[in-house]
Amino acid sequence: DGDGGNQTGLLTRTLPKTARPSLYRVLLLNDDYTPMEFVVHILERFFHKNLEEATQIMLHVHQKGVGVCGIFTYEVAETKVTQVVDFARRHQHPLQCTMEKE
């Protein structure tokens, strides 16, 4: 593996190269009904933010309409979106969470 002949007759070694996975932003969207404390709880529970970080992100979303909760590989991002939306629906809140390629 890695040793190759070429037209020069020299033996060269090919370095193993690992491709980086594509990354995805997980986004929270603002709405008029989901309580602020519930959004803070989501950010603590699913995105491992402390109270200060979670409050900053929640207020950013409240003021600007959208904000980034975290950046993950595809399957992790997809799982976060599902967990957040399921948790919000179980508590009867309309909170929307989505993902986009970085």
Q: Binder to ligand TYC among 35, 45, 71, 74 (CB under 6 A)?
A: 35
Tell me whether residue 23 or residue 36 sits nearer to ligand TYC (CB atom): 36
- Note whether 34 binds ligand TYC by CB under 6 A: yes
Task: Determine if 39 is a binding residue for ligand TYC (CB under 6 A).
Answer: yes
Counting residues that bind ligand TYC (by CB under 6 A) gives 13
Q: Segment contacting ligand TYC (CB under 6 A): 8-16, 24-32, 45-53, 75-83?
A: 24-32
What is the Cβ-side half-sphere exposure of residue 91, based on CA atoms within 13 angstroms? 16
Report the greatest alpha carbon distance in the chain: 72
User: Residues of 43-79 as b/e, b for ≥16 C-beta within 10 angstroms?
Assistant: beebbebeeeebbebbeebeeeeebebbebeeebbee
Q: Which residues bind ligand TYC (CB under 6 A)?
A: 28-32, 34-36, 39, 58, 61-62, 95
